[in-house]
Amino acid sequence: MITFTKLMLLSIGVIVIAVKWRAPTFNAESLKGARILVTGASTGIGEQMAYHYARFGAQIVITARREGVLQEVAKKCLLLGAEKAVYIAADMSNVSDPEGVVNFAVDQLGGLDYVVLNHIGPSPYSMWEGDVEHTRYLMQVNFFSYLQMAWKALPTLEQSKGSLVIVSSLLGKSTSPFAAPYTATKFALNGFFGSLEYELAMKQSNVSVSICTLGLIDTEQAMEKVRGMLKKPIPYPASEAALNIIATGAMRQSELYYPWTIRILCIVKDWCPSLTKYFVHNLYIDNP
């Protein structure tokens, strides 16, 4: 039987280890001159990531569909201090565009150190009414294009000891109403890149994989979607989410939960599924 004294000693031991154990720290200097591709960078979290990378003096290729908007973001990146900032307009629902973007980035930068996959296609925040075609479209944009880009970029990331950063969602770990197709794409991403991380480690690959799980972030698109749906939305700032994603990739950490509190929900949901369902159901306004 464990005595009180043993329990105290054990607790003290755990506290000492926790204090002594140093988590890796983010060194922004390491990003100076780094060669980075960011997708979905015309707006929202991707745009904020581009600005942070620019301030750190990185070389950036940004992509999304709207060329005019990308041009403005690239201009601002140069003003903020990017060593290089170029853009390529691409639509990830076109099967050939994802690989084309990686080829363009490698040509422009002479290789890649970070590939940050962040884009998502538009999807309604509403009950699913049987539209399988839209789900198929979203799978191409939010999932298959990620696979295509990752596969194309792996050789150059291998050479540079680079990092693959996947932007995912709490809805890739836990379900909720009104976003069934989106949720499916994010679960697919988590499953796929979680497996790939093991396989790369087994091959002694130089490439790190970071999966970033985000809660509600105050981007225009997200806030528009949840307006009138959630009882009390508590969004977190896109700029801070972006910085956390960048730091996670730079430190080659396997996971990010932002805000950290969403990790609790991810743990509790398997222990107490009924309680979790009750909690999630009650986040929403009835009959929105």
**Interface with ligand NDP, residue 183, by CB under 6 A:** no
Specify whether the CB–CB gap between 255 and 267 falls below 8 A: no
Instruction: Indicate the residue among 206 and 233 with the shorter CB distance to ligand NDP.
Output: 233
**Interface with ligand NDP, residue 50, by CB under 6 A:** no
Query: CA-to-CA distance for 131 and 139, rounded, in angstroms?
Result: 13
Query: CA-to-CA distance for 159 and 111, rounded, in angstroms?
Result: 9
Q: Which of 121, 162, 181, 249 is close enough to bind ligand NDP by CB under 6 A?
A: 121
- Interacting residues with ligand NDP between 229 and 288 (CB under 6 A): none
Count the site residues for ligand NDP by CB under 6 A.
Answer: 28
Specify whether the CB–CB gap between 180 and 123 falls below 8 A: no
What strand order describes the sheet that includes 208-214? 84-89, 59-64, 35-39, 114-117, 163-169, 208-214, 255-258
Name the active-site residue from 53, 125, 182, 258: 182
Helices (H) then strands (E): counts for the chain: 11, 7
- Interacting residues with ligand NDP between 9 and 48 (CB under 6 A): 40-46
Find the shortest distance in angstroms from Cβ 216 to ligand NDP.
5
Instruction: Indicate the residue among 35 and 119 with the shorter CB distance to ligand NDP.
Output: 119
Specify whether the CB–CB gap between 231 and 281 falls below 8 A: no
Structure tokens given for 75:
């201009």
Q: Which of 6, 32, 66, 203 is close enough to bind ligand NDP by CB under 6 A?
A: 66
3-state secondary structure of 284: strand
- Interacting residues with ligand NDP between 198 and 217 (CB under 6 A): 214, 216-217
Q: Which is it for the CA torsion 106, 253, 245, 251, positive or negative?
A: negative
- Interacting residues with ligand NDP between 80 and 99 (CB under 6 A): 90-93
Find the shortest distance in angstroms from Cβ 29 to ligand NDP.
26
Find the shortest distance in angstroms from Cβ 11 to ligand NDP.
36
Query: CA-to-CA distance for 152 and 147, rounded, in angstroms?
Result: 8
Find the shortest distance in angstroms from Cβ 18 to ligand NDP.
29
Helix ranges (DSSP H) in the chain: 4-20, 44-55, 67-80, 97-109, 132-139, 145-160, 180-202, 220-226, 238-250, 262-271, 273-281
**Interface with ligand NDP, residue 184, by CB under 6 A:** no
**Interface with ligand NDP, residue 61, by CB under 6 A:** no
Active site residue 53: no
**Interface with ligand NDP, residue 77, by CB under 6 A:** no
**Where on the chain is the footprint of ligand NDP (CB under 6 A)?**
40-46, 64-66, 69, 90-93, 118-121, 141, 167, 169, 214, 216-217, 219, 221-222
* Catalytic residue annotation: 182
